[in-house]
Chains A and B, each alone.
Chain A
Amino acid sequence: MVGAMEIYQLTPKINCKKCGLPTCMAFAVALLAKEKNIEDCTPLLEPKYEAKLKKLREVMAPLASASETGLIIHDEKCYGCGNCVVACPVNVANDPRGSAIGLGPKSDKVILMVEDGVVKCLNPKECRRFGPNRIMCNLCTSTCPSKAIEFV
């Protein structure tokens, strides 16, 4: 998946601060975190950066489908095995009688559950990677046999 460095290469790299950030690198990071939009960099809309803008839109397109936490599910890779559902610490904490003990979720406060054979993301804002106290949790991705979940 696309990284901040790759995005930075596609900015004007002139550190003009028009986007409200001190550097183009900071803008790249903010773009990735969905805190800024491509259009916030007005210089990029100038004709001379047309090629960069086009490329940037291309690499950013998959992120548009990601939830606010940057979680993307690749349906076609998912076995519906439920490993992520049972491993997610938020599911475990909010659903002690369901996903915590291996069963299908019995609470509507879970983040992950399996529907029609494929994992679904329900309450993305509950994810530990989200909000002011976020941590780099990766239990859902590290327990997945097929890289069907990804964070961008």
Chain B
Amino acid sequence: MAVCTGCSLLCDDIEVTLESGRIARTKNLCRKGLGRFRSLYSERASPRADGSEVDVGDAISRAAEILSGAKRPLLFGWSNSTLEAQQAGIALARKLGGVIDDTSSFCQGPLMELVIRGQMPTGTLDDVRNFGDTLIYWGSDPTSSHPRHMSRFSYFPRGEKLQKGFEEDRTAFAVDVRESPTAKIVADGYFQIPPGGDAEFIEAILSVLDGKMPKVQDKKRMISFVTTLKKAKMGFIFPGLGLVYSLKDRLDLFSQLVARLNEGVPFRVIPMVGHYNMRGFNQTLFEQTGGINQVSFADGEARRGQENGIISALDSCDAALVVGSDPVSSLPAAFARKLAKIPVVVMDPHRNLTADLARVVIPTALSGLEAGGAALRMDGVRVELAPVVEGASPSDAEVLARIREVV
């Protein structure tokens, strides 16, 4: 059985058939995961330094040179790397006195921070399968982002306490600005809200909980929705980026709602982390420094602050190491232009836009397929990864260790 690193569900029931060392057939892998597996054979990165093809050893030396020459290097990416690589990355940042940040910085970070700090009740996906009878997909569309979420854990499978599965034992709702494929599946449980309407919707639930009339949505429907929530034996909310972006600095409103629901029944929150090991990075950095992202090791001390998030750090950093991430395509163009002005080292299994503008490119193994290690699933459960095929490139962890030896 192989593990899929296509998303943060880390499905571990994947059957792979090899033919002459190549992946020929797979079972149980969703289409998205299949894309990840097939990416073994397309658009692979090749080692480059200062515009010429070099060998991996030379690319690593050149990377070390750039990073040790920088006053304030930024080490960014990490959510597509193993726990071992993340640890090596944090150790490197410490040694360099640099800044380390990951994609959660402009993504699920604020919510994940509450979960990791223990300020938001959470649970595992196995709890969801066994006990979760009332589910809310909020600003998330697992069908597209985590295709097997509903079938492996949340809605369709039979659980210990839920032998009848979705037909009778589970009730699912979706709150979203558009009728996503997930909203279509939950059908009558779908609440459409206007863009930015999440705060109002939360307030409406709170009103009903207070015995008042909701200000938005159909009143009867809202009341029956809240009644269902109040009757949950164990409820789960799966918030996506839609909710985090919409609430911005009003995330406390969401905390307030979760706390209110928990006065009556257990309601847990599992953020729909995208990349396979974002949770791993946040948790590892938190354990080592007390911050889940945006940490600087300048002057030998770990400090957390917004100025260390990639968005601000690009103004102050004079070199960057980007690992398993493509900020040039995911950030607005203005930030990409800033990145283009400093020397960039990219470590990635694949060619991408950031690699195209980088001064040094170090190709790495595709984790879970060509290199082993471990990762944390979106719910914090540790999953071991073992290589499935042999690859030509070193793992992130190996490259980082080699850089650290020479800086």
A interface residue numbers (CB < 8 A to B):
78-83, 85-87, 92, 100-105, 113-118, 143, 145-146
Contact = CB atoms under 8 A, between A and B. Distances in A.
B327 interface: no
Interface string B28-39: 111111110000
A104 B14 contact: yes
Interface stretch (B46-54, B157-165, B332-340): B157-165
Contact of B152 (A78, A79, A80, A102): A102
Contacts of B29: 80, 114, 116-117
B184 interface: yes
8 contacts: A82-B28, A82-B148, A82-B152, A83-B155, A86-B152, A87-B156, A101-B157, A143-B185
- 9 closest A-B pairs by beta carbon, nearest first, are A104-B28, A102-B157, A117-B34, A145-B181, A80-B30, A82-B151, A117-B31, A102-B152, A86-B156
B15 interface: yes
A80 B147 contact: yes
A100 B130 CA distance: 12
B279 interface: no
A51 B13 CA distance: 53
B134 to A, nearest CB: 18
Contact of A113 (B14, B27, B129, B181): B27
A79 B156 CA distance: 16
Interface in B4-37: 13-15, 25-35
Interface residues of B, number: 34
Given A102-B148, A102-B151, A116-B34, 17 more contacts: A79-B147, A80-B34, A82-B148, A83-B150, A92-B158, A100-B158, A101-B129, A102-B157, A103-B28, A105-B28, A114-B27, A114-B28, A115-B25, A117-B31, A117-B33, A145-B184, A146-B181
Nearest to B154: A102
B3 to A, nearest CB: 13
Nearest to B30: A80
Interface string B161-179: 0000110000000000000
Contact of A81 (B26, B151, B166, B184): B151
B153 A102 contact: yes
Given A102-B152, A146-B181, A79 B157 contact: no
Interface of B: 13-15, 25-35, 129, 143-144, 147-148, 150-153, 155-159, 165-166, 181-182, 184-185
A110 to B, nearest CB: 11
Nearest to B146: A81
Contacts of A79: 30-32, 143-144, 147, 181
Contacts of A115: 25-27
Contacts of B166: 87, 143
Contacts of A145: 143, 181-182, 184-185
A64 to B, nearest CB: 26
Contacts of B26: 115-117
Contacts of B181: 79, 145-146
Contact of B28 (A113, A143, A146): A113
A87 B165 CA distance: 8
Nearest to B164: A92
Contacts of B150: 81, 83
A81 B157 contact: no
Contacts of B185: 83, 143, 145
A81 B148 CA distance: 5
Given A113-B28, A115-B25, A81 B13 contact: no
Contacts of B13: 103-104
Contacts of B33: 80, 117
Contacts of B158: 92, 100-102
Nearest to A89: B167
A13 to B, nearest CB: 39
A81 B30 contact: yes
B29 to A, nearest CB: 6
A114 B156 contact: no
Nearest to A100: B158
A80 B27 CA distance: 10
A123 B36 CA distance: 29
Contacts of A78: 31
B172 to A, nearest CB: 11
